[in-house]
């Protein structure tokens, strides 16, 4: 692969997933062109039509006929934003890949900065929405709560308020391709692969037109994909609950015993004491066993994701290799 810092005529693929964006896709394309046409790179556009039911495909076909830099993939149905982005990245061939939304919310004015940072040697330039520019209080609150939670329970640090607006070197894209897991949360996977990453804050702008395709259901599904694919902590709940129940059984016995050694009675009926003790012990043991099963399921889950055990950035140089 050519050295990013030396070669100025690098190829850059702009990957844009689109779902029912027919009324604005031409406008946002022209906006991106107005920025990138002045930059010294070989640009290609790779649109991914994610099962649109409007005229998005017709608009993309017309754009591709008019401009040889425009290419598109047409998915067989709506697979969702993360899947569409993955399809685009897997098909891309450029030295650098930029992913961005097709609704104009990711300002193309940021592209020169993304590329400058890649040229400075960063493999991943991850954008971050500036906090004062959130679209609505609901999105702002759910987003900040989500990132706080995920960063407490996940072993991978995920940049808060990060967007799927980023530049990646070919090496970083190839590393992402080694993770074929089904439930994808790209903001986590991008942090997981390592390499040198820099955060670039940007001010999001309102949609050029059309409506958000992220319904509440899709947001919840994305959050669940993130939590369950980046954390095994929910599986340890059984063990913790079991431990808690056994501790309560122990406390009950200590309480009753403390009266018994002093020759007094605790005021609790013997029926209640024995029933509660058995319930706590049996419940605790069951919860712990359930927790063990949870941990095994977690390990199976990690194996079936087929994530690589490691990712090599620079292969070892072998002397006398021919
Ligand atoms: N998108 C997609 N498939 C989907 C949902 C969204 O390809 O199932 C695209 C959409 O056309 C847009 C980008 O992903 O280009 C971001 O979606 P949207 O703007 O609706 O999300 P929001 O900005 O509201 O979070
Ligand atoms: Mg949007």
CA-48 nearest atom, ligand 1: 7
State the distance from the centre of ligand 1 to the C-alpha of 71, rounded, in angstroms.
19
Best residue among 47, 49, 81, 184 to mutate for probing ligand 1, ranked by most atoms within 8 Å of CB: 81
Give the per-residue pLDDT at 2: 46
Q: Whose CA is nearest to atom 14 of ligand 1?
A: 81
State the distance from the centre of ligand 2 to the C-alpha of 214, rounded, in angstroms.
8
Give the per-residue pLDDT at 30: 96
| Cα(250)–Cα(289) distance, integer angstroms | 19
Q: Which ligand is nearest to the CA of 214?
A: 1
Say which residue the tokens 């403390």 belong to. 258
CA-19 nearest atom, ligand 1: 11
Q: Which ligand is nearest to the CA of 23?
A: 1
State the distance from the centre of ligand 2 to the C-alpha of 110, rounded, in angstroms.
16
Give the per-residue pLDDT at 320: 57
Q: Whose CA is nearest to atom 17 of ligand 1?
A: 213
CATH no., domain 11-211+309-321: 3.90.550.10
State the distance from the centre of ligand 1 to the C-alpha of 285, rounded, in angstroms.
46
State the distance from the centre of ligand 1 to the C-alpha of 100, rounded, in angstroms.
10
Three-state SS string over 76-124 comes to CCCCCHHHHHHHHHHHCCCCEEEECCCCCCCCHHHHHHHHHHHHCCCCE
Which has the closest alpha carbon to 38: 139, 143, 111?
A: 111
Q: Give me the residue spans of the domains in the chain.
A: 11-211+309-321, 233-304
CA-79 nearest atom, ligand 1: 8
| Cα(181)–Cα(84) distance, integer angstroms | 14
- Per-residue pLDDT tens, the chain, 322 aa: give them: 445 555 568 999 999 999 999 999 999 999 999 999 989 999 999 999 999 999 999 999 999 999 999 999 999 999 899 999 999 999 999 999 999 999 989 999 999 999 999 999 999 999 998 865 556 777 778 888 888 888 988 888 988 888 899 999 999 999 999 988 888 899 999 999 999 999 999 988 888 888 888 888 888 888 888 888 888 888 888 888 899 999 999 999 899 889 888 888 878 888 888 898 999 999 999 989 988 888 888 888 888 888 877 666 667 776 655 4
What does DSSP assign to residue 132?
G
CA-102 nearest atom, ligand 1: 15
* Contact between residue 47 and residue 102 where contact means Cβ atoms under 8 Å apart: yes
Give the per-residue pLDDT at 311: 66
Where b means 16+ CB within 10 Å and e means fewer, 82-103 reads bbbbbbbbeebebbbbbbbbbb
For ligand 1, residues with CB inside 6 Å are: 17-19, 21, 50, 78, 80-81, 84, 101-103, 105, 212-214
Q: Whose CA is nearest to atom 13 of ligand 1?
A: 101
Q: Whose CA is nearest to atom 8 of ligand 1?
A: 80
pTM of the predicted model over 0.85: no
Q: Which ligand is nearest to the CA of 105?
A: 2
Q: Which residues contact 48 (CB under 8 A, 6 or more apart)?
A: 15, 16, 17, 18, 72, 73, 75, 84, 85, 87, 88
Give the per-residue pLDDT at 132: 56
Which has the closest alpha carbon to 55: 83, 20, 85?
A: 20
Which H or E run contains 13? strand 11-18
């Amino acid at each position: 692969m050519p050295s990013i810092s030396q070669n100025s005529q690098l190829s850059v693929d702009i990957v844009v997933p689109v779902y029912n964006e027919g009324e604005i896709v031409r406008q946002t394309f022209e906006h991106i062109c107005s920025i990138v046409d002045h930059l010294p790179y070989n640009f290609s556009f790779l649109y991914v039509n994610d099962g649109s039911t409007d005229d998005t495909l017709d608009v993309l076909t017309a754009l591709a006929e008019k401009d040889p830099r425009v290419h598109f993939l047409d998915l067989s149905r709506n697979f969702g934003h993360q899947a569409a982005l993955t399809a685009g990245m897997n098909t891309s061939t450029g030295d650098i890949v930029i992913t961005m939304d097709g609704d104009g919310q990711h300002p193309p004015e940021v592209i020169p900065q993304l590329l400058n940072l890649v040229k400075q040697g960063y493999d991943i330039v991850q954008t971050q929405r500036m906090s004062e520019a959130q679209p609505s209080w609901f999105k702002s609150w759910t987003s900040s709560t989500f990132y706080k939670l995920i960063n407490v329970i996940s072993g991978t640090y995920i940049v808060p308020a990060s967007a799927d607006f980023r530049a990646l070197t070919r090496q970083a894209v190839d590393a992402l391709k080694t993770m074929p897991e089904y439930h994808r949360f790209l903001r986590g996977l991008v942090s997981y692969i390592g390499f040198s990453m820099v955060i670039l804050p940007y001010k999001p702008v309102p949609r050029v037109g059309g409506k958000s395709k992220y319904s509440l259901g899709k947001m919840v599904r994305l959050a669940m994909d993130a939590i369950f694919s980046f954390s095994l902590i929910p599986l340890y709940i059984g063990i913790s609950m079991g431990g808690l129940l056994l501790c309560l059984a122990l406390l009950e016995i200590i309480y009753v015993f403390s009266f018994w050694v002093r020759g007094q009675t605790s005021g609790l009926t013997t029926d209640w004491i024995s029933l509660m003790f058995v319930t706590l012990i049996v419940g605790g043991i069951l919860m712990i066993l359930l927790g063990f099963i949870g941990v095994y399921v977690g390990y199976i889950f990690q194996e079936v994701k087929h994530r690589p055990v490691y990712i090599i950035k620079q292969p070892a140089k072998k002397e006398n290799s021919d």
